[in-house]
Chain A
Amino acid sequence: MDNFFEKLVELFTTPEYIDSLLHGFLLTLEISFFAVLLGFLLGLIIALTETGKSKWLAPLRFIFRIYVTVIRGTPMALQLFIMFFVIFAIRDFPQVITAILAFAFNSAAYSSEIIRGGILSVDAGQTEAGLALGLPYRTVFLKIVMPQAIKNIIPALGNEVITVIKETAIVSMVGMYDLNMAAKDIGSGQNMASYVVPMFTAALFYLAVVYLITFVIKRVEKRLRRSDVRA
């Protein structure tokens, strides 16, 4: 135990180590944030196309179906490798962007299913009521369907955000210096020569972010459920 506390003190008093940890943490946050944002937007486009009624969207729907099937059917690590070593195997192309795109393309497939499910979960009677009053489909969708769909989408989307944050740890496999990689580096023989403290510290960092997001999602969810209260 003495050794553990010594190492703990060493980690938090050595500027280079703290610096490494924070750099790694920032990269993890950067990739996660932009991947989630981009993934959500792309997922929204896919979901809207798939739930849309228009006939001329049919070819696009077909393409998106294949896209979602392929992404969900292959490992994220392999998708990351393909992005790094095949699609963006371009000299001097920024690694961060490649990583963001890899996770965004992956997340889009899952987000689209979440959003699609949320839209389809809204009772058809709600749409019919709006249409029967003479409202245009656009208004019905924006004022009636979407607000109700969001209640079902938010919790599942929160899970997806958490998944992405944790999954970005695999960028260490392509040599990027994220939080996971920082922990490994600090604990290696040239540095602290002990993995326990840096790795548990990194774990706490991940946990803190995930916990914060869970907390925010719960609050938002509660607010959205106002109209369900039978009082």
Chain B
Amino acid sequence: MSERKLEISVRGLRKAFGDNKVLNGINFDLFDGEKVVVLGPSGSGKSTFLRCINRLEEPSEGEIFFEDTLIDDKNIQEMRMEIGMVFQHFNLINNLTVMENLTLAPVKLHKFSADEAEAKARKLLKHIGLVGKADAFPASLSGGQKQRVAIIRALMMEPKVLLFDEPTSALDPESIGDVLSLIHEVVEGGMTTMIVTHEMNFAREIASRVVFIDKGRIIEEGTPSQFFTHPKTPRVKEFLEKVL
């Protein structure tokens, strides 16, 4: 355990929107190579937790470290280059083609030259079977195609950690499978990931650790087999009875 590298460390994270306290003191460590699935009822603060990590939400209190660096307003851009994110609503850039969506950030941020980025993007597009869509605008893609492009867009930056915020919640049942198998593949490739999802079977299958959040607190965590078969808290038992 001790030689595993710490990727993300969250200490005393609180977040309130006005009077609405969404996160009430979260402590959490994410180690290199871990695949953490974050579960919890809707409104429990799962997404907010994920969004605080790359500061799409400004934490009200607490500290978040990436490796040994405290994430603050000054280094957040560099941190975001290391911590990729995939959104529920894909958020492909509407005014850019698929290719431009993939190459904009790596080229602008000098991660790759324009040629390198394009070659890499083509390779990834080919892999997901969408190389023919390189010059199409996102409006012409289906939901499942958009999300798969969004996933490889995050991979283009070669992040150390990838956050998935309910990546299949806005998809039709047929495309969910395609997206899940791509996520599966990414995760199997060794990417350190955190996934907020409602897909229980998928969670069980890929998670190395399950974290359960309720009312803005982590109330239980463990391996999938522990968590799904022998939940410790009544709240998790109740939750699992409802969803399984």
Residues of A within 8 A of B (CB): 123, 125-126, 128-136, 139, 143-144, 147-148, 226-231
- Residue B93 CB within 8 A of the other chain: yes
Q: Which of A125, A133, A147 has the most CB of B within 10 A?
A: A133
Q: Is B137 positioned at the interface, with any CB of A under 8 Å from its CB? A: yes
| Interface residue from A130, A132, A135, A136 paired with B54 (Cβ < 8 Å) | A132
Once A125-B91, A126-B94, A139-B108 are accepted as A-B contacts, the answer to whether A133 and B80 lie under 8 Å apart by CB is: yes
User: Are B81 and A227 in contact, with the CB atoms below 8 A?
Assistant: no
Q: Which of A128, A147, A226 has the most CB of B within 10 A?
A: A128
Residues on B with C-beta less than 8 A from A123 are 91
B85 within 8 A of A: yes
A134 touches B91 (CB 8 A): no
Residue of B nearest to A227 (CB): B137
Chain B interface, number of residues (Cβ within 8 angstroms): 29
Q: Which of B87, B109, B139, B140 contacts A129 (CB 8 A)?
A: B87
28 contacts between A and B (CB under 8 A): A125-B91, A126-B91, A126-B94, A128-B87, A129-B150, A130-B104, A131-B56, A132-B87, A133-B80, A133-B81, A133-B84, A133-B104, A133-B105, A133-B153, A134-B77, A134-B78, A134-B79, A134-B157, A135-B105, A135-B109, A139-B108, A143-B96, A144-B95, A227-B94, A227-B139, A228-B139, A229-B137, A230-B139
Q: Which residues of B contact A135 (CB under 8 A)?
A: 77, 104-105, 108-109
Contacts of A227 in B (CB 8 A): 94-96, 137-139
